Structure 1
Amino acid sequence: MDEFQVIDTADGFERAIDAIARGRGPVAVDAERASGFKYSQRAYLIQVYRRDSGTFLFDPPPIGDFAPLESVIGTEEWVLHAASQDLACLREVGLDPERVFDTELAARLLGMPRVGLGTVVEELLGIHLAKEHSAADWSTRPLPQSWLKYAALDVELLVDLRDRLELELDRTHKTELALQEFDSVVHRMPKAPAAEPWRRLSGIHGIRGQRNLAVARELWLARDSHASALDIAPGRLVPDASIVAAAKALPQSRRGLADLREFTGRASRSELDRWWAAVETGLASEELPSLRAKGDALPPPRAWAGRNPPADARLRQARTALADVAETLQMPLENLLTPEYLRRVAWNPPEDLGIDAVSAALAAQGARPWQIAATAQTIVDAFVSAEQSLRDAEADAS
């Protein structure tokens, strides 16, 4: 078996950059994080492959700044699988592509039923790609050779896969729409931080009272602060389910919290003073959170029929019609049009239900030109039909 070496010195980094500069064609890039183990989403391994150059495995923490590599490959096409998952950690070290070819996104646009890298490689290239280390703790040092082999294969096949997918996109007349999607991935603005990130607690919808929510909030904040300081995934300290259980129980003493069977986790007892202080803060807080999250989030579609019947009718009619369009184009409905875009336009449609107004509304949400061209008229027709159905129902009832 080939021995894979991790590049973690300035000299090794310079030699690798020289070799990559002499290569040809697109540059395959991948990154491995330690999600589920670390608090941060930093890259702990960055893999690069280019034809006539070879494969290079970089250790980001000791290298630090990847600007010298960026200066060599920045204007080239980068090939990534599920680019949106890796761009943030790559940008953190100074790697920021101008254009990408996203093999996962291409597979989605082609209507492939499964778009994981291993599945797409096996279907299009006939090569079995084992994925046994995808959830590993990549902050481990030294990295085992079996992990490095896995990481190298993740990029060594990407350029060949890109070429095969490009042929399929051309054959199905989807090249232009794919280019628009790839460009959108590169230029998509990061989401603004949530105003109340603690509301992302799994199971929080089972917490009813404001005081209970205040305790959940303070426990989440205490856990988040400690996890950030230690660079440990918060759930490894105290699981979400434990915070929710404590918030529901509202223990009145440190002993009461300690005796709560559902309050588990590696730090549930070793840091008990920290968690009890958070519970006390929540119990005494005069700033009680609202029962519902603030912001402009729409209600879940299942609640629309009771809260906004016309919007519910518009959404249902449009989704059915767009599903037919997606089937014709042989791609998932969510790639034809982002579901949130449709929901927002259905909830608050333009006064003029013409194609220009609906197209503008979709564009304002972030829909790409090809998506607007493929869906706007269908949405207009569906909205008009939904409103006519409501009028007919009202007339029949009167």
Structure 2
Amino acid sequence: MADTNLYVDSDSKLTALLASIATEPALALDTEFVREKTYYPKLCLIQIATPKLTACIDCLADIDLAPLFNRLFKADCTWVLHSARQDLEVMYQQGRQLPHELIDTQIAAALLGHTPQIGLQDLLSEELGVDLDKGFARSDWSRRPLPEAAVRYALDDVRYLLPLWQILAQKLNVLQRGDWLTSDCVAALNTPPVTPPLTLCTRLRGLRSMDPQRQCAALALVTWRERFAQSLDQPRRWIMSDELLLRIAKSLPENLESLQAVDEMPRRLANRSGHELLAALQDSDGADQRMLIETHLPPKRPEKRELQALHERVRARAGELGLHNEVLATRREIGEFLVGRTSGRMDSGWRQAELQCLLADHPENGQ
């Protein structure tokens, strides 16, 4: 492994780095960002590693990052990340696209029997015997200058990713699970990097207990809140809490007076955005909206005994494969299957093949 550590904070250094990685087929990648006070993540660092170097690119320096993104988003560039979800989101916000090929070592580890959400530090310790310093995990990455120890921490997040991937790949090949990883990483890339308003809406606690008209009102308010938070670049919770959003949706106010009368309605919000909120509510209800919500709401719970029985069978099959059972199918996915709604994971790819015998005697199978 190379000892070359680069801190890139100028165009000339970036040009040199790009020349060094121009022909590398796979790049270990990580990002550091802050978003506590913003809607969009503020990208602070991009870390890159190859077999010959590790580099930390200061995204807050006076650098033109366009050449870097041109390289990273080329079709011949594979990204190797650990727990890629948030990194994909922040990179998508910068480049408005996703990599053509992804290898997520957290997914790979889960397919080998590791805990599904295993952290990089624990995985490196178990697979490579490498112990990383965890002291800078919650650093303010927008701080400048960054402490030297923080830069080392950031570099270590990518320094060992390629050797780790080589070991995981060998083990996957022995078990003939390379296709499993490819399938799951493609699914990760097909997941929207920014959570859609409909998904945010269906996650609201108590939504299912509301009638369809008020569910549609909640969706309209979630959509408005997302757009407004984006326009101000502020966290959505700063605009309107979930609890307030549901109270407004339940009240269905028709004018400013009734909107202001909603329990704990901030006067500033009503004065600033009251007419927009009322307009959103006025046009919220419709057959299409109702169908969207109904088909995306978490389904009603299946019969408890039936759920437990199938869950135990899935657990047993996962044990035979040396997997944690939620890697094969989560309890929620099993419940959805039992009420006739499939998640897409259980009824396609390698999971379908492994679960086929277990599910064949259920009438819901094939719906």
Same fold (TM over 0.5): yes
- Alignment partner of 1:229 is 2:231: yes
- Pick which of 129-138 and 112-121 moved more: 129-138
Gaps of 5+ in 1: 307-311, 350-360, 388-398
- Partner residue in 1 for 2:49: 49
Contact 2:202–2:296 (8 Å) recurs in 1: no
CA separation of 1:340/1:42 partners in 2, compared to 1, >3 Å: closer, same or farther?
Answer: farther
- Pick which of 76-85 and 205-214 moved more: 205-214
Question: What are the Cα deviations for residues 341-361 of structure 1, in whole angstroms up to 9, with x where unaligned?
Answer: 766665559xxxxxxxxxxx9
Tell me which structure has the larger Cα radius of gyration: 1
**CA apart distance, 1:28:** 0.9
Contact 2:345–2:352 (8 Å) recurs in 1: no
Question: What are the Cα deviations for residues 71-103 of structure 1, in whole angstroms up to 9, with x where unaligned?
Answer: 8x8535532102344335435527754544321
Gaps of 5+ in 2: none
Q: 2:358 aligns with which of 373, 378, 395?
A: 378
- Partner residue in 1 for 2:153: 150
Question: Which structure 2 residues correspond to residues 298-313 of structure 1 after superposition, within 5 A?
Answer: 300=299, 302=301, 304-305=302-303, 313=306
- Partner residue in 1 for 2:293: 294
Q: Point out the structure with the larger helix share.
A: 1
Distance 1:252 1:372 in 2: 49
CA separation of 1:74/1:133 partners in 2, compared to 1, >3 Å: closer, same or farther?
Answer: farther
Distance 2:210 2:294 in 1: 19
Contact 1:109–1:335 (8 Å) recurs in 2: yes
Distance 1:206 1:337 in 2: 24
Distance 1:326 1:89 in 2: 33
CA separation of 1:29/1:225 partners in 2, compared to 1, >3 Å: closer, same or farther?
Answer: same
Contact 2:217–2:285 (8 Å) recurs in 1: no
- Alignment partner of 1:78 is 2:79: yes
- Pick which of 96-105 and 206-215 moved more: 206-215
Contact 2:346–2:352 (8 Å) recurs in 1: no
**CA apart distance, 1:234:** 1.1
- Pick which of 230-239 and 61-70 moved more: 61-70
Question: Which structure 2 residues correspond to residues 79-98 of structure 1 after superposition, within 5 A?
Answer: 79-90=80-91, 93=95, 97-98=99-100
Q: 1:129 aligns with which of 132, 150, 154?
A: 132
CA separation of 1:215/1:147 partners in 2, compared to 1, >3 Å: closer, same or farther?
Answer: farther
**CA apart distance, 1:29:** 0.8
- Partner residue in 2 for 1:38: 38
**CA apart distance, 1:127:** 3.4
- Pick which of 250-259 and 55-64 moved more: 250-259
**CA apart distance, 1:66:** 2.9
How many equivalent residue pairs?
Answer: 353
Contact 1:98–1:186 (8 Å) recurs in 2: no
Give the TM-score normalised by structure 2.
Answer: 0.73
- Alignment partner of 1:239 is 2:244: no
Question: Which structure 2 residues correspond to residues 193-208 of structure 1 after superposition, within 5 A?
Answer: 196=198, 199-200=201-202, 202-205=204-207, 208=210
**CA apart distance, 1:64:** 3.2
CA separation of 1:83/1:222 partners in 2, compared to 1, >3 Å: closer, same or farther?
Answer: closer
- Partner residue in 2 for 1:273: 271
- Partner residue in 2 for 1:328: 320
Q: What is the identity, as a one-letter code, of the residue corresponding to 2:230?
A: S
Contact 2:34–2:41 (8 Å) recurs in 1: yes
Question: What are the Cα deviations for residues 232-262 of structure 1, in whole angstroms up to 9, with x where unaligned?
Answer: 2211333222323444566788688668774
CA separation of 1:221/1:341 partners in 2, compared to 1, >3 Å: closer, same or farther?
Answer: closer
- Partner residue in 2 for 1:355: none
CA separation of 1:365/1:14 partners in 2, compared to 1, >3 Å: closer, same or farther?
Answer: same
Q: What is the identity, as a one-letter code, of the residue corresponding to 1:224?
A: E
Distance 2:241 2:145 in 1: 28
Q: What is the identity, as a one-letter code, of the residue corresponding to 1:12?
A: K
CA separation of 1:31/1:179 partners in 2, compared to 1, >3 Å: closer, same or farther?
Answer: farther
Distance 1:197 1:378 in 2: 30
